[in-house]
């Protein structure tokens, strides 16, 4: 039990060496905290790509949600971690999956001004035409005019 808590904390605070050691020792990589977050969610939120890769190699579930409906993918998009987002797309994550508030990874990336993630989501199949026609929130959330232009044109 204590080792699983240590793994959650080492992923949360981006302690790569400790996290990798605990993963290699066989810690439960699916352990959740009180909010339903797993080690891979914390690693994605912190941009710890080496931990994310190790967790995936050890079989960590990538298509999961926490209590708020966040996924490892949406957490990485909201923080602007393009490399992690790409890795998770390659593992089959759902690009347009909204959280409990209806926000998609594209909306989260737009809201926080992460142009590289927005571009990557569009290139990887995020359906802008459908989203803009049915969900006007995308045009309300960008903080960067470059993103607004990208979404419009």
- Please identify which residue in the block is written with the tokens 């009180």: 34
pLDDT confidence tier of residue 152, bands split at 50, 70 and 90:
low
* Residue 34 DSSP code: T
Side-chain half-sphere CA neighbours of 142 within 13 A: 18
Of the chain, the percentage scoring pLDDT greater than 70 comes to: 82
Q: Among candidates 93, 110, 102, which has minimal Cα distance to 44? A: 93
pLDDT at position 134: 44
Other Cβ atoms within 10 Å of 85 Cβ, number: 29
Region for residue 69 given its phi and psi (left: phi exceeds 0; alpha: psi -120 to 50; beta: otherwise): left
pLDDT over 50 at 133, yes or no: no
Pull the structure tokens for residue 132: 């803009």
Q: Give the predicted TM-score (pTM) of the model.
A: 0.84
Mean pLDDT of the residues in the chain: 86
């Amino acid at each position: 039990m204590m080792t699983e808590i240590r793994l959650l904390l080492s992923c949360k605070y981006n302690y790569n060496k400790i996290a990798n050691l605990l993963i290699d020792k066989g810690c439960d990589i699916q352990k959740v905290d009180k909010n339903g977050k797993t080690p891979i969610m914390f690693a994605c939120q912190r941009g710890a790509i080496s931990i994310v890769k190790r967790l995936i190699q050890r079989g960590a579930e990538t298509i999961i949600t926490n209590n708020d409906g966040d996924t490892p993918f949406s957490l990485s998009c909201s923080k602007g971690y393009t490399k992690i987002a790409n890795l998770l797309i390659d593992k089959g994550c759902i690009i347009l999956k909204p959280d409990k508030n209806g926000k998609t990874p594209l909306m989260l990336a737009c809201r926080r001004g992460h142009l590289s993630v927005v571009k990557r989501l569009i290139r990887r199949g995020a359906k802008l035409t459908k989203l803009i026609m049915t969900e006007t929130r995308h045009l309300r959330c960008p903080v960067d005019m470059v993103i607004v232009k990208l979404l419009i044109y």
